[in-house]
């Protein structure tokens, strides 16, 4: 495991006491740390889409059972649950399980600015925690945001990477709200399709996480065949939305004003790697978006060329030349559709993958910041303990024996808080290591799959293009 960070020692007496307590209270944690070197971790669950797995807290159960008996009077029930529940989840995830979620049939409900979109979510799985193997529900976009908010609140502070939900688009949704369903454009609306695809990727990424897919809120979201309570706190203008805004400002200020003196080389290297990867992915995403725009423009210009060629063919009196120009116009129309198809591949296969990972890297950075917050709490507890001991010493010197019992009780309380802070820091550090390891493995798998899919699409389109021109060539040679 990573080298454990501790604040500066308070005194020689405190160091001796702290070492004795560490040998007792955190014996299991230290042995666990030694056993958790990330050497042979492997993702055993077979997930069809993205497989961003949390392998849980990989604790040796035989040892943990002995440690549990030795320290039963010092570890509360909540701590035990936090230690051993992820291990059970990992055992379950070692089986061959599958879960595949599809989002389809976007439907507009209502009219005007009060309208909203619903999506049909079909889930197929063999995970025993789900009531059925095949089921479907209808959900609106705000339900997705509400789900993400709940998962982030419950899991992010523990160091788990919670896939980010798709971003809101006020402009895009306003266009959908003001459109009329009977004009035949809603089903083919580019914004609606992009959102549908992003929601599907979000659910599958969440479902591929060994802990998140078993969360009660996630299972209810997929299974409950009824409307969920309206997630009003997802509105940007709501009180909760303003509170989130102020919280983000506070977090940003904290990141700028507090610099953790990182002594763990692994975390220091990973943070630098993430910054570099984020920067390069953003540049690549900008380039791919420019490519998508270029192909769409090429498709429009090709369509314009096809229409012009058809008009010239109609005006041409020479029979064979007129026929050739008409055939050329038909070929160019087919080429236009190929350019449009390739633009879609550029966007859905490449651009959206890059965007997803830019957002995922932001989620990874967030769990790194959660680790810093845990360290701050531990450090604050250590400082408070120092003050409590100084107060006790002053009471001894002043002869104020009537308050010594309370002072000793305060010291005992803050000693426990310091030990709890150390334990939480070790736990979140270990969890983040596993999460990042899974994230990096899955990133390679996702990029490999997408690149192969993209190349296959390019090859198919080029072969189709060759067939079009080969079929037209005899007609051009027949001009006489």
Phi, psi angle pair for 125, to nearest 5°: -155, 160
At residue 252 the predicted structure's pLDDT band, cuts being 50, 70 and 90, is low
Q: Which residues, other chains included, contact 182 with Cβ-Cβ below 8 Å and sequence gap of 6+?
A: none
Buried b (16+ CB within 10 A) or exposed e, 424-435: bbbbbbbbbbbb
Q: Which of 58, 60, 65, 61 is nearest to 90 (CA)?
A: 58
Q: Which of 100, 133, 136, 130 is nearest to 118 (CA)?
A: 136
**pLDDT of amino acid 400:** 80
Q: Would you tell me the crossing angle of helices 352-398 and 265-315 to the nearest 10 degrees?
A: 160
**pLDDT of amino acid 227:** 86
pLDDT of 415 higher than 80 = yes
Say if residues 295 and 349 touch (Cβ distance below 8 Å).
no
pLDDT of 238 higher than 80 = no
Task: Tell me which residue has tokens 């296959």.
Answer: 456
At residue 16 the predicted structure's pLDDT band, cuts being 50, 70 and 90, is very low
**pLDDT of amino acid 167:** 87
Own/partner contacts of 34-42, CB < 8 Å, gap of 24 or more, are 34/1, 35/60, 35/63, 36/1, 36/430, 36/433, 37/1, 38/433, 38/434, 38/437, 41/434, 41/437
| Tens digits of residue pLDDT in 152-203 | 999 999 999 999 999 888 878 777 777 765 554 544 578 899 999 999 999 9
Q: Which of 134, 158, 144, 167 is nearest to 211 (CA)?
A: 158
The full DSSP string for 128-182 is: TTSS-SEEEEEEEHHHHHHHHHHHHHHHGGGT---PPPPPP-HHHHHHHHHS-GG
| Tens digits of residue pLDDT in 296-335 | 999 999 999 999 999 999 999 999 999 999 999 999 999 9
At residue 255 the predicted structure's pLDDT band, cuts being 50, 70 and 90, is low
Q: Which of 246, 351, 363, 257 is nearest to 295 (CA)?
A: 351
Phi, psi angle pair for 226, to nearest 5°: -160, 165
Least confident window among 88-97, 142-151, 387-396: 88-97
Q: Is 203 helix (H, G, I), strand (E, B) or coil?
A: helix
Calculate the CA 68 to chain-centre distance.
34
**pLDDT of amino acid 235:** 56
CB neighbours of residue 128 within 10 Å: 10
> CA of 8: how far to CAs of 135, 213, 265, 293, 383, in Å?
55, 40, 19, 56, 10
Q: What does the alpha-carbon distance between residue 56 and residue 84 come to, in Å, rounded to a whole number?
A: 9
Phi, psi angle pair for 44, to nearest 5°: -100, -25
Q: What is the mean pLDDT of residues 254-276?
A: 83
Say if residues 449 and 409 touch (Cβ distance below 8 Å).
no
Q: What does the alpha-carbon distance between residue 45 and residue 368 come to, in Å, rounded to a whole number?
A: 25
Beta strands across the sheet bearing 116-125:
99-109, 116-125, 134-140
Half-sphere exposure (Cβ direction) of 89: Cα atoms closer than 13 Å: 20
Calculate the CA 456 to chain-centre distance.
27
Report the relative pairing of strands 134-140 and 116-125 from DSSP bridges.
antiparallel
Q: What does the alpha-carbon distance between residue 151 and residue 112 come to, in Å, rounded to a whole number?
A: 32
Q: Which of 433, 365, 438 is nearest to 205 (CA)?
A: 438
Say if residues 161 and 364 touch (Cβ distance below 8 Å).
yes
Reading the block at residue 96, the tokens are 């061959």
Angle, alpha carbons 155-159-164 (nearest 5°): 60
Residues found in the chain? 480
Q: Which of 135, 153, 320, 131 is nearest to 231 (CA)?
A: 153
pTM attached to this predicted model: 0.74
């Amino acid at each position: 495991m990573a080298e454990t960070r501790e604040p500066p020692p308070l005194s020689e007496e405190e160091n001796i006491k702290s070492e004795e307590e560490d040998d007792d209270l955190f014996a299991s944690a230290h042995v666990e740390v030694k056993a958790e070197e990330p050497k042979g971790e492997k993702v055993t669950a077979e997930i069809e889409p993205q497989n961003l797995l949390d392998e849980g807290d990989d604790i040796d159960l035989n040892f943990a059972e002995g440690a549990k008996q030795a320290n039963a009077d010092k570890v509360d029930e909540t701590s035990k649950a936090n230690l051993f529940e992820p291990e059970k989840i990992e055992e379950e995830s070692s089986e061959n399980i599958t879960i595949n979620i599809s989002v389809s049939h976007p439907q507009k409900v209502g009219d005007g600015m009060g309208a909203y979109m619903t999506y049909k979510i079909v889930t197929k799985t063999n995970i025993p925690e789900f009531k059925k193997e095949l089921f479907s529900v209808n959900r609106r976009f705000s339900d997705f945001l509400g789900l993400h908010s709940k998962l982030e609140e419950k899991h992010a502070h523990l160091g788990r990477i919670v896939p980010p939900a798709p971003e809101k688009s006020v402009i895009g949704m306003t266009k959908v709200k003001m459109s009329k369903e009977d004009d035949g454009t809603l089903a083919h609306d580019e914004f609606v399709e992009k959102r549908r695809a992003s929601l599907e990727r979000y659910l599958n990424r969440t479902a591929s996480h060994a802990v998140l897919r078993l969360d009660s809120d996630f299972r209810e979201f997929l299974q409950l065949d009824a409307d969920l309570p309206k997630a009003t706190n997802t509105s940007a203008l709501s009180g909760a939305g303003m509170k989130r805004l102020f919280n983000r400002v506070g977090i940003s200020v904290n990141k700028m004003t507090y610099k953790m003196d990182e002594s763990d080389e692994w975390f220091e290297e990973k943070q630098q790697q993430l910054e570099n990867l984020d920067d390069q992915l953003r540049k690549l995403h900008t380039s791919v978006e420019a490519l998508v725009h270029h192909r769409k423009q090429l498709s429009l210009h090709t369509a314009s060329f096809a229409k012009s060629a058809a008009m010239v063919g109609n005006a041409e009196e020479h029979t064979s030349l007129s026929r050739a120009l008409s055939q050329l116009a038909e070929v160019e129309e087919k080429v236009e559709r190929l350019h449009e198809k390739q633009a879609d591949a550029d966007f859905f296969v490449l651009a959206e993958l890059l965007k997803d990972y830019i957002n995922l890297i932001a989620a990874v950075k967030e769990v790194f910041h959660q680790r810093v917050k845990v360290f701050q709490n531990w450090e604050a507890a250590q400082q408070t303990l120092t003050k409590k001991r100084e107060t006790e010493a002053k009471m001894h010197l002043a002869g104020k024996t009537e308050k010594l019992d309370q002072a000793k009780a305060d010291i005992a309380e803050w000693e426990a808080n310091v030990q709890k802070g150390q334990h939480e820091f070790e736990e979140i550090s270990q969890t983040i290591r596993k999460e990042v390891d899974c994230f990096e493995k899955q990133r390679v798998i996702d990029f490999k799959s997408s690149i192969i899919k993209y190349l296959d699409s390019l090859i198919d389109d080029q072969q189709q293009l060759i067939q079009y021109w080969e079929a037209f060539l005899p007609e051009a040679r027949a001009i006489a």
